[in-house]
Amino acid sequence: MDPRLADLLQKTSLYGTLAKYYEHIDPRWHMYFYELHFKYEKQLVELYWKLHAQNPKMDNE
């Protein structure tokens, strides 16, 4: 797996988990982590499709 993709997957997961944790505890922290989650999620999807276009066989890895 591309290391940039792995890094974005890790960040997306971490910030998504933190956003979910704070969802009903503290709305400000929830939004803070959700915005980070969404930022990295967008980057993840863009990088995935860029890599996929360069190497369509990557789905089989």
pLDDT digits (tens, 9 = 90+) for 1-60: 999 999 999 999 999 999 999 999 999 999 999 999 999 999 999 999 999 999 877 665
Q: Which residue spans within 1-61 are E strands per DSSP?
A: none
Residue 44 CB coordination number (10 Å): 19
All residues at 6 or more sequence positions from 61 whose CB lies less than 8 Å from its CB, including other chains: 1
Instruction: Please give the helix or strand (H or E) that residue 50 lies within, else none.
Output: helix 27-54
Whole-number pLDDT of residue 56? 79
- Render pLDDT for 29-38 as a digit per residue (tens, 0 to 9): 999 999 999 9
Provide φ and ψ at 21, rounded to 5°: -60, -45
Residue 57's pLDDT is: 77
Q: What pLDDT, on the 0 to 100 scale, is given for residue 36? A: 98
Enter the pTM of the model.
0.86
